[in-house]
Amino acid sequence: EAGVTQFPSHSVIEKGQTVTLRCDPISGHDNLYWYRRVMGKEIKFLLHFVKESKQDESGMPNNRFLAERTGGTYSTLKVQPAELEDSGVYFCASSLTSSYNEQFFGPGTRLTVL
């Protein structure tokens, strides 16, 4: 069974540009989560989808970040326009159910904004 996959693995962009990250969850997992780890800090929650609906987006830092999950399968996270402080590793995770269930993480996308 394939795990959570993320694309690209690395992205280097200049301040002001747009970047779109993609996550493919484990097949059959209705729950999809985005997290971010900024250098030297802990992994922080961004948002949670149940199928195509946003269940919790309390961690989204500002309106430069837009997450979508059309059709309830893969998800995209767009940053527009990117700022220097957006640099970090963006992780996607998925789980079968929401409650009392482990989340399986992808390898992450390392974003560098210059």
Residues near another protein (CB under 8 A): 4, 31, 33, 35, 41-45, 48, 55-56, 58-59, 91, 93, 95, 98-100, 102-108
For the bound state, the minimum distance from the C-beta of residue 74 to another protein, rounded and expressed in Å, comes to 16
Residue placing its CB nearer to another protein in the complex, 81 or 105: 105
Residue placing its CB nearer to another protein in the complex, 88 or 108: 108
CB neighbours of 95 closer than 8 A, spacing ≥ 6?
29, 31, 33, 101, 102, 103, 104
Is residue 88 a contact partner of residue 29, using CB atoms and an 8 Å limit?
A: no
